[in-house]
Amino acid sequence: MKRFSWFNATTLTLGFAFLYLPMVILVIYSFNESKLVTVWAGFSTKWYGELLRNQEFLDAAWVTLRVAVFSSTIATILGTMAATVLVRSGRFMGRTLFSGMIYAPLVMPEVITGLSLLLLFIGIGLDRGVFTIVLAHTTFSMCYVSVVVSSRLSSFDRSLEEAALDLGCSPFAAFRLVTLPIIAPAVISGWLLAFTLSLDDLVIASFTTGPSATTLPIKIFSAVRLGVSPEINALSTLMIAIVTVGVITTSLITKRASVAQQRDEQAAARAT
Amino acid sequence: MSQTIFAPWDDPNEKPLIQFKGVTKRFGDFTAIDNLNIDIFEREFFALLGPSGCGKTTLMRMLAGFENPTSGSILLAGQDIVPVPPNKRAVNMMFQSYALFPHLSVWDNIAFGLRRGNASKDEIADRVEEMLRLTRLSKFAKRKPHQISGGQRQRVALARSLAKAPKLLLLDEPLGALDAKLRQDTQFELMDIQEKTGTTFVIVTHDQEEAMTVASRVAVMDEGRLIQVATPSVIYEAPETVYVADFIGDVNIIEGTASQSGDKVEITWAEGEMPIRGTTAKTFAPGQTCHFAIRPEKVTITTERPDSANMLQGRVIDIAYLGNLSTYHVKLPNGTMMKAQTANTRRLANRGITWEDDVWLSFTDTAGVLLER
């Protein structure tokens, strides 16, 4: 162990304070009795109760949840397919270009993605609403899924799939019965990642939404322009909680999967 | 009572189970298999032997259906199987890495192939139990692959590939991952299982001892071609080329020029040395270059001058002591190194020959083989 040093302790504290102080303040004030956000008047959970009676927020939450579930599910299916093809197909003309194009939306500014999708939806005359947000979210979260899944697939032993074919599986059955169960942890963490990304997206959603569908981030953003209310604090606290749970679950799944993989590899190494 | 020897390859009426007809496989510019023809018969234990990169694994993967030949046809029981996908072939394969499904128990691994057919639940259960008994795995049925040892995993892989009772079982370096002792036991186990089930086995290996032990016939391959296909004893005792003689076991090769009379040949090989006397069924032109190959165990080493068809004098340079055997490296006056092997029937202290001793090497005129190339 390294010796305790004041310098290290200070740096660490400052760093974490910088990262988490704003959120801590938000969480604390969500339990504030007073209607004034900046004045502490005692502990209360009344804003959470208030939130549950606010139909607008509940509607927005329902829209957000539906969008997140649908878009992350579609993104997971498409992302897994893309990853499988890119890892498996070996070298073909333009492979680098294709894999680059899959990952490009990761670094594309959200405003650009949102704007181009908006133009597309107007162009093909699609009514904007929940459906268009789902499409938009699928578009950008698919890349994240395919990154996670392809990193798992690249270490996947091809002979397992060949063994399944050899034992009488069709290629699709081999994927479903052998490949998918083995890469499942990566697929699940890809889904959770897509889900959290969709949950907190504001920019792309506001470009692609219509009057009928307001997601929570949009709702919060527009409510804050009229002044921060303790209700918003309560809502934000809940969202932080959900995202935290999602991220922790993802990292636990990934960790467990890598431990299991390591254990399998060690077992294999013992046999040699 | 006469016992018939299993040798369907000598019977012209026997129909081969597998036929490779002019099979060529190219990967880009690289020719992995070059216009190859083999017949493999039912109930054979056929070994493909060769150094890595000789095309033996490609040959096996073509049988399994994972690779298609660039040209030529592969017949299984008279039917061309090239267009048949791997999941429709009555061929199963045991993979080098075993490729056990890590998320399934031993039981489910073995049942995997059976569940793809239309067997009933009871039939599947019976067959799996039978396989577990055959491979002595009944105790481990509920374990996952990572909870059993390497040898047990090897047996699970074997049970899984045998469960569907394939016409042909392919084994890709099946014992490569096992240590020497376990490998020997498993070789005999494999032969036993092959006999019990009556399945045709094709095994790929780079271990010549393994091929010799298990196989009914061995095919020695090099650079995509078959060099010699024969029973282990023929491969060992009567290799056709220097390559085969050198690849299988230990051998002394002496290059010289032949002069033949009848089946007797005299090989002139060095200044000041007596010509080597050998016998051959082949014909050599007078003065033709030939190679005389003799196994070290057929060379006798003595301190006294022996009385034999061929006698050479030399000095012991090195002794490799293997426990049951000792190999003596003897340097002849012209610098040629010869190996002679003796069984250590006496204990160490009683043996007379040691380093720097002058010795006689001798062998009969039928002990070696004469090779053209």
pLDDT, position A272: 45
Q: Is the pLDDT of residue B9 over 90?
A: no
Neighbours of B65 (CB within 10 A): 22
Residue B2 lies in a domain: no
Residue B149 lies in a domain: yes
**In sequence order, which residues have a C-beta less than 8 Å from that of residue A151 and are 6 or more positions away?**
A186
Residues B171 and B317 in one domain: no
pLDDT, position A4: 75
Residues B241 and B258 in one domain: no
Confidence of residue B303 (pLDDT cuts 50, 70, 90): confident
Residues A107 and A17 in one domain: no
For residue B17, give the nearest of B45, B59, B36, B48 by alpha carbon.
Answer: B45
Q: Could you give the residue ranges of the DSSP H alpha helices within B71-149?
A: 106-116, 121-134
Q: Is the pLDDT of residue A1 over 70?
A: no
Boundary residue ending a domain (B189, B215, B245):
B245
Smallest Cβ–Cβ distance between A264 and the set B85, B102, B117 belongs to B102
Task: Tell me what the pLDDT averaged over chain A comes to.
Answer: 86
Boundary residue ending a domain (B180, B211, B245):
B245
pLDDT one-digit tens code per residue, A96-119 = 888 888 888 888 888 999 999 999
pLDDT one-digit tens code per residue, B309-360 = 898 999 999 998 888 888 999 999 888 899 999 888 877 656 678 888 899 9
- Which strand ranges, in their side-by-side order, compose the sheet holding B168-172? B91-94, B168-172, B200-205, B45-49, B217-222, B225-230
Residues A32 and A65 in one domain: no
Residues A128 and A261 in one domain: yes
Q: Could you give the residue ranges of the DSSP H alpha helices within A54-109?
A: 55-88, 95-107
Instruction: Provide the whole-model pTM.
Output: 0.80
Residue A94 lies in a domain: yes
| Contact (CB<8Å) B95/A163 | yes
Residues B197 and B291 in one domain: no
pLDDT, position A266: 65
In this predicted complex, what is the ipTM? 0.82
Residue B3 lies in a domain: no
Residue B308 lies in a domain: yes
CATH classification of the domain holding B306: 2.40.50.140
CATH classification of the domain holding A211: 1.10.3720.10
Residues A221 and A160 in one domain: yes
pLDDT, position B15: 87
Residue A49 lies in a domain: no
Interface check B186 vs A, CB under 8 A: no
Residue B1 lies in a domain: no
The crossing angle, in degrees rounded to 10, of helices A55-88 and A95-107 is 160
pLDDT, position A2: 61
Question: Residue A90: helix, strand or coil by DSSP?
Answer: coil
Q: How many domains would you assign to chain A?
A: 2
pLDDT one-digit tens code per residue, B159-202 = 999 999 898 999 998 887 777 888 888 888 888 888 888 899 99
Nearest CA in chain A to B182: A271
Q: Residue range A201-217: average pLDDT? A: 89
Mutate which of B146, B170, B182 to test chain A, going by most A C-beta atoms within 10 A? B146
Nearest CA in chain A to B180: A272
pLDDT one-digit tens code per residue, A115-138 = 999 999 999 988 888 999 999 999
Q: Is the pLDDT of residue B90 over 80?
A: yes
How far apart CA B133 and CA A168 sit, in angstroms, is 23
Which H/E stretch holds residue B30? strand B30-40
Residue A26 structural domain: 7-44
Contact between B178 and B207 under an 8 Å Cβ cutoff? The reply is no
Q: Residue range A173-196: average pLDDT? A: 91
User: What pairs with residue B325 in β-bridges?
Assistant: B343
Which H/E stretch holds residue A150? helix A130-153
Q: Residue range A237-248: average pLDDT? A: 87
Residue A1 lies in a domain: no
Residues B283 and B178 in one domain: no
Taking contacts as CB-CB distances below 8 angstroms, the residues of chain A near B97 are 157, 159, 268
pLDDT, position B228: 93
Residues B238 and B280 in one domain: no
